[in-house]
Structure formats: C-alpha cells, structure tokens
Amino acid sequence: MNFFEHQAAARRSSTRMVVLFALAVAGIVLAVDAAVLVLFGGVLGGGGSAGSMAALLLLSTLATLAVIGLGSLYRIASLRGGGEAVALQLGGSRVPEDTTDFNLRRLRNVVEEIAIASGVPMPKLFVLEQESAINAFAAGYAPTDAVVAVTRGALERLNRDELQGVIAHEFSHILNGDMRLNIRLMGVLFGIMMLSIIGQRILVHTRGGRSKEVGAVLALAAVAMAVGGIGLFFGRMIKAGVSRQREMLADASAVQFTRQTTGLAGALKKIAGLHDGSQLADPGQAEEVSHMLFGQGRRYSSLFATHPPLLERIRKLEPSFNPQQLERLTAGWALSPPDGLQEDIALGLAEAGGAPLPPPLPPREGTVTVTAPMVVEQVATPAADDYRRAGDIMDAIPAELRALAAQRDAVMPLLLGLLLDADAGVAALQRSEIVPRLGEAVAQRAFDLRQAHLAELHPMLRLPLASLAFPVLRLRPRPELGAFMDCVHAVVNTDGKVSLFEYCLGRLLETQLVESLDPARHARLGRRKPGNVKQEFATLLAVLAQAGNPSPMDAQRAYLAGLHRILPRDHLPYAPPAEGVRALDAVWGPLDALDPLAKQVMVEAITETISHDNRVSVSEAELLRTVCGVLHCPLPAMLEKG
C-alpha cells in the first residue's frame, strides 16, 4: 500500500471504530437496563405501573449515555494538545535541542535524519525516565504536532541500529495516519470505561461504612464495575482489532526505510529476552496507551493483545529465528544485560552512524529525473537511500545554521531570512513589513543571516533547515507566534515579485504553525472529489506551469498535461491568474480536503505539470516537495532514484 491507500485505510478504520464503539455503548446500556430491572423491578412491580418501569428504564438509558458521552468528550478535550499531552501524562521529560547527554544526542540525531528523509517537521522528543523497559510511541493528530517518546530502557539497552529501527517504526505511524486514529481511540474508549471508573471511586470513598444507605451505594458501585467490565472487554477488543495489523505494517515500513532487518529484529529480541521486556511500570497508564506503543505495554491474553506475538514479529524479519536462540540470548543477558553504547563502539557505530557514505548533493543547476508514478510511490514512503541522503544533508547544513535552528531567540530571524527576496527593492519592502511586527533587531538579524549564509544555501537544504527550526519555533509564546504568522504572510505577499518557492515555503510554515497551535481542530481526512474543486486545480496548475516555463506556449502544454491527468473529461482553458502566486491562497483549503485517493491523482497532476519539459531542476524538485508539504503529502529529500 502506498501513502494514499494507507490514508484511505485509516479512514475506514475510523469508521469501523465508530461502529464498534456504538455496539459497545449499546451493550453497556442493555446491561445497565437489565441491572435496573433486577434491582428495582420487584419494588415497582408491586404497586407501580408498566409506565413507571418504562420511565425508569428511559432514565437509566439516558443517564448511561450521558456518562459515556461526557466521559469521551472530557477525554477528547484533555487531548486537544495532541502528542505532547500524551507524553506528559506518561511522565515524559522533553529532550532539549542542545542536549550534551550522549544517549539523548544519539536519539536526536537519529530522529533528525529520519524527519529530513521523510519530509516532515522534526517532532518533539520525550524520554520516559522512570521506565526501564524497552518501548516507544508516536502520538499526535498530525506530523505538525507529533511527539516521539522513548523509554530510558530503550536508550540504554539499544544500539544505534536498533534505535533507528524502533524510530523508523514510529515514523511509519506518523506518516500513515495511525497517530490520529490512536489518539482519538484514547478519547473514545475513555467513555465506555467511565462506569468502571465511577464504581472504583465509589468503592474507595465508601469503604468501611456499615449503614443500610452505604450498603445500597456499594451495591450500585458493584453493578457499575460489573457493567464497566463490559466496557473494558469491548475497549480491549477495539484496540486489538485496530492496532494489531498496523503494527505489522509499521514493522514492514521500518525495514523498507532502513533497508536492514537486524536493527528492528535486535530490538524485538531484547524485549523478548530481558526481564523488563516492554511492560510499563504503571498498568493503568499502559492500559490506556497500549495500542500506540512499540511493544506490548502490559500483559494481555492473545484475544486482547494489541501487538502480534514477539516471536512472530521477529520471524517476519528473520525467518530462521527459533525459540532456542531466544533462550540462549535470555540466559546471556541475565548474566550481563546489553549496553547500547558499548555495542555501538564494538560495531563501529558510535561515531559514523553505521551507514555507507551517501552520494553528494546534486549541483545547484543540475536536473533530476522524476515521473508522476514514481513521486506518488515516494510520498510518505522514505527508503534507505533517503535516509543516507538525509545524513548527507545534515552534514551539508553549516554548523552555525544548525546551532541557530536550536536557539529560541534566533529561529524567527532564521526562517524569515529564508523568505527574503534576492531583489534588493523587494527585500527592502519586506523589511518594512518585518520591523513594525517583530522589531528592528529581528529584521536586521534576518538580513544579516541572509547575506552571510542563506543567499548561497543549496536549494535542497532550505526545507530541512526549516524542519529543524520548526519545533523550536513552536516553543515561543502564542502571541509571538501569532505576530510571526502575520509577519510571514506579509513578507511572502509583499508584491507580485515573490518567487513561487518563497511563497510556498512561507505558506508551509504558516500552515504548520496554525495546525500546531490547535492540532485536534485540523486533524481531518478529506472527503472531497476532484469534480468539486475544478477551478482550484486549474489555478494551481496554471501557476506552476507559468513558473516553470518562460514560453507561454510551453506553459500551456505543461498545464494541459497536468489537467488531463486529473480531469481528463474537462476542458478548462489555460488562464494564469493576474494576481500571480497570491491566487493560491484560495486553493489550499479545498485541495487539502480531497479524498486520499483523489490526492494521489492530484500529486500525479502536479508532477506532470512540473516535469512536462523532461527537465526538472533541483529548484523545481524542491518546489514540488514544498507544494506537496502544504497539501500534507510529505516527500523524502531525494526524489531522483538511481
């Protein structure tokens, strides 16, 4: 399955989750009504009427629905902060950008390279310091608010290859839409667990009482817990049904990405062979997040297991692996537990990262070969060569710029410097937009950075640099982010001379910031069909065609090639908008709301337009990546394939 098929499958899983949730609610309501009949039927049967009994049953039904609904709404509201809310709930500690701790630095380096290779913003990093087991998770509504968290046990026990395999597995969940499904599942399932939670609370607060009233309350609490057991049963069934297959798909994606099975298989072997395994210390926390963890967070029967059996996962990666080998590993680790750092040194991974040297970046004025089907297959599907290229890109970004991307007071001037125009007149107008919004000091620093570093920065390094800076930018206070978004919008719309890439980069930054401020609101899988956004297609393709072809005739041919790919039966004349790139402000929302499979055809059409002359420059390839990023179709750093 490619990215778009994964997205469509995630939407079907969401629908299935809603259906299962409805069945669970129906089961709980019936159980409560049955308990009401048993407890109160005799009382009302003697002097009451059928109408009184019906009214009582209606009241119990409405009360049960209210408890479930309010519980789910409360939990969903508490998770509006996205992945960070989940990480903090589990006691996670944020990993600083400038950490000097070797294990944390190694984690950050691995995640940075995978983020750049995937074409998504760098996620926030957290460590569960109190957890000695080997585990990890990715949480959030979208890549813009994603969090990757690992346990301290994973940092200390896994070598770099194994850590890379685990992180690649978690990035698969980020890219394929699993995070959105998982975090919503947390909110929904909390509702059907509410009766059990209420029963437990009542038992705790009434323990030791002896009056008749207390006895009645305890009876109600016992009923609530018994009925809550139905919710627990359905909740675990839903999690198992949604999670198990996706874990196998994430393992397969991690192998495709890293192009080696030893890392991921090694991590799974250590989980299977070490005493702590992947079990989290707090069973209650593990229960709620079990479906989003790398390994089983607590012990379940095979019926409720959220993950396939460990031996099965290992054998998918190493078919010849057998239980006897695991027994030998377990015995050896019981005497001498594994140390990830020492293994790195022994394997020669501590400094070099264990990867072969990647090819150099293509020349600035060079060209790459891309086709529409090839680009579609690469959306959110990085491979091993992308990972190696990401390492090369990280090395190519000047050390000073990487340091600035990690500093809260430097990140705004750095990103604005990427948007400044090469034309001195346009740049002066842009400066006049920055000063009243962010101050003279920010404007001057942006211009200094532009002159010293950014003007000559290789086109392939601009998006990765922005990706590294983005999580640091999100740490700024909300009012400052609002002013920065306003400033970005003003800078990229200063006049019609702003380049299409600068416009799209500014729009990408703006989109990511807006989504990160309220992630739950923007987590949507679209449902629109191509026929409903014809004019938006025409506008986008016309702007792209005009930008890549100085000849109007060539531009028209490129436009028609892209249009035929997505709307083969429609004839929309080539008419570049008079306002130029600013006309794109109106197209992003409708196009981003397309059905996942319609988005696939849209990416094909965009690629067809940009590559129509069979010469895709490095700058045009980066433009393609930027446009796809705005439309939530992340492309890896390396579009050309050997």
Identified catalytic residue from 97, 113, 131, 170: 170
Q: Which residue has the tokens 């394929």?
A: 176
CA distances 232 to 275, 287, 304, Å, are: 27, 10, 10
Give the dihedral sign, CA 491/450/631/17. negative
Count of other CB atoms within 10 angstroms of residue 244: 14
Name beta bridge partners: 594.
528
Axis crossing angle, helix 459-473 with helix 411-419, rounded to the nearest 10: 150
Name beta bridge partners: 293.
137
Per-residue DSSP letters for 327-388?
HHHHHHHHHS---HHHHHHHHT-TTTTT-PPPPPPPPTT-EE---HHHHHHHTT---HHHHH
d(CA 326, CA 453): 53
CA distances 578 to 8, 158, 544, Å, are: 36, 57, 14
Query: Pairing between strand 367-368 and 616-617?
Result: antiparallel
C-alpha 192 chain-centroid distance: 26
3-class secondary-structure state, position 124: strand
- Could you tell me how many residues make up the chain? 642
Per-residue DSSP letters for 430-466?
HHHHHHHHH-HHHHHHHHHHHHHTGGG--HHHHHHHH
The answer to whether residue 170 is catalytic is: yes
Closest to 157 (Cα-Cα) out of 281, 333, 376: 333
Count of other CB atoms within 10 angstroms of residue 393: 23
3-class secondary-structure state, position 546: helix
CA distances 306 to 248, 254, 288, 363, 417, Å, are: 11, 19, 11, 48, 47
Residues identified as active-site: 170
